[in-house]
Chain A
Amino acid sequence: MKKIEKEKLLRHLEEKGNLVRLDRARQDPLSVTKSSHLPQEELLLLFRINGDKGVEIRVPEGRGGKILFGVSPCEARAVDLLDLTFLRDRIDPYYKRKREDNVLFVLACNKPRSTCFCTSFGYGPFSGKFGDVFMVDIGDNLLIDPVTEKGSKALEGLELEEATPSDLEKMESLKRSAEGAITTVNIEGISEKLKKMFLDEIWADLAFKCVNCGACTYVCPTCYCFDIQDVERTNWGYRERVWDSCMFPIYSLETSGHNPRPTGVERMRNRIMHKFSYYPELYGEYGCVGCGRCIRACPVNFDIREALETLKEVEVAA
């Protein structure tokens, strides 16, 4: 690992482009990292009827070009999970452009929050494999380590010092205390178990307190559901992509009027199933990163950790 003065690095990045500081305030409740790749509202195309010339269509470029400084490891991991949806089987050009342009400077989490449970998912507050550059704030300096080629490129032209053994020791001690502050939820085997629980009665109990607002899904860094809508004016209009949430009744409402998820119970089940059963089945990864945002944003204190504990305890027939 190398090291550098924080101010020096920031000056360098400011010259490079559109620097977005995420290190100063806690990024709560919304994940700026998610919305930098998947904006709440994204213009897909504009159309205009231009006299006898017919319909003119303009597709905006929608580039990213942000240097996101101070992304937490959980948010960076979440972007990797978004990639599975937007870049694996089918490529979404709007997402891809932003993903290619944005540079993620990940900052290890020295002070995890009481709602953090990232260690439940096989990584932790000091995992250095996400994003483009990994950094650790050791007080006077930043320890820094490029993760990707894009990251190395962003650091070009900077003089980096070699980290001393005492710096690394400092990092280790910060890491130990951060990891120690996080409560791990044991989710071993949950995805297999959930497969057998689709019709279990526990869902009604779990969903009782949930009012089915979209707060949890909108603050979630891995929730990516969207809706595409055309907005029409007299002789012009546009097509846009906006966030949508599986918590809403019209999310699954079909044109016929039938709704396969008619009540909050099914919707709640879907949210948990998607993250802890369907995602592992499709991609071999959990769809949750354990950032705790949904727990903090929930107006009725639906705690996903508590829900997982409850689900673990339910007895299911083999």
Chain B
Amino acid sequence: MFEKLRETARELLSKGEVECVLGFAEGTLPMIYTPYHARKPEEAEKLVYGPFAAPNIATYLRKLKGKKAAVIVRGCESRTINLLISEKQLNREDVKIIGVPCTGALDRKRILKDYGGEIREARIEGEKVIVKGDKGEKAYVLEEYISPSCKSCLYPEAIDPDIKIDGPSRDGEKADFSDIEKIEKMSPAEKWEFFEKELSKCIRCYACREICPMCYCESCFVDSNRPVWVEPGFDYTDILSFHLIKMYHMAGRCVDCGACERACPLGIRLSFLTRKLTKDMKEAYNFVSGLSPEEKPALGVFSPDDREDFIL
């Protein structure tokens, strides 16, 4: 199934067009692909793509600065690359973009929970994930276990790739924000309770920050101790402060790839926040991040007639 991709990668590497091909390889646990960069033509054999790839691969481009790399991307990852270019973090000439089809990334933790036992093997068969473990073999419909962010994805396919690998992709027309709207309709007290329940699990390991391709700052506001923007504790007030400011920094820069949510070891639904941002930016400024490398970040521009119904 990955022949076309591997062939492309092999060719790029053997012709010396790129120094490495960045993508995913099989991992050591079921339902996980691990970030991988093939540097020799024979290493192209290891490259894979599909729902088991949880992180946003564009994060790894910062580790390859100064190198000519090809990168295997889905829609969200290609939009991230556009953002990185527009924020001057990446030169378009340095990357060769290989677009692959995307049927959404798997919400692995939900399958682990629903299975209830130890899963030892997993594979994808058509539209199903087949898992095997100490509770026997079970099949899960992929679409039902896809990340919430992927469910509201409008651009599953890579934008302007240099090379395109064909295959079945998601339908990008069905963006659905009904769960976000449901939260918006709650009373402040209900909202508070809802998010306290969700976010207080946070242990501030910053997996969400580190996995995020747009969190590339050399020093982060949480690490500042003069002044202390966010106090170091694990109290909910500290946790919420961190997430609020982090999310604010993501406004108009988040492509809602869902990598932060999938990275969270505690399984916090960060998409409740990222998808709210996506929805707000679209509604207020008709802005969708990362559609073109020339586009300016939404909070870096303005329009004289921006909405101000919230101003006294």
Contact = CB atoms under 8 A, between A and B. Distances in A.
Contact of B235 (A41, A249, A250, A302): A41
B172 interface: no
B211 A213 contact: yes
Contacts of B208: 213
Contacts of B266: 29-30
B72 to A, nearest CB: 15
A40 B55 contact: no
A249 B29 contact: no
Interface string B64-90: 000000000000000000000000000
Contacts, number: 107
Given A208-B35, A229-B232, A242-B234, A30 B203 contact: yes
Interface in A274-318: 295-303, 305-306
B134 interface: yes
B205 A215 contact: yes
Contact of B34 (A227, A240, A301, A305): A301
A211 B28 contact: no
A231 B231 contact: yes
A301 B231 contact: no
B233 A242 contact: yes
A300 B35 contact: yes
A299 B55 contact: yes
A114 B232 CA distance: 34
Given A213-B209, A245-B205, A41 B29 contact: no
A64 interface: no
B199 interface: no
B233 to A, nearest CB: 5
B129 interface: no
B15 interface: no
B32 interface: yes
A71 B206 CA distance: 27
Contact of A299 (B134, B231, B265): B265
B54 interface: yes
B149 interface: no
Contacts of B134: 111
A248 interface: yes
Contact of A211 (B118, B203, B210, B232): B210
A113 interface: yes
Residue among B33, B206, B235, B264 facing the most chain A CB atoms (10 A cut-off): B206
Contacts of B60: 208-209
How big is chain B's contact interface, by range?
35 or more
A115 interface: yes
Contact of A219 (B27, B118, B265): B265
Contacts of A231: 228, 231-233
Most A CB atoms within 10 A — which of B118, B119, B134? B118
A301 B63 contact: no
B206 A300 contact: no
Nearest first, the 10 A-B pairs at minimum CB distance are A299-B263, A213-B207, A297-B265, A301-B27, A301-B34, A213-B210, A214-B205, A211-B210, A303-B28, A40-B234
Given A300-B35, A301-B29, 17 more contacts: A29-B265, A30-B203, A30-B266, A40-B203, A111-B118, A113-B118, A114-B118, A115-B29, A209-B35, A209-B36, A211-B210, A213-B205, A218-B265, A229-B231, A300-B211, A301-B27, A301-B33
Interface of B: 27-29, 32-37, 54-55, 59-60, 63, 118-120, 134, 203-211, 219, 223, 225, 228, 231-235, 262-266
25 contacts: A30-B266, A41-B233, A111-B118, A113-B118, A114-B119, A208-B37, A209-B34, A209-B35, A209-B60, A213-B209, A214-B204, A214-B207, A219-B265, A229-B225, A229-B231, A249-B219, A296-B265, A298-B265, A299-B54, A299-B263, A299-B264, A300-B263, A301-B33, A301-B34, A305-B28
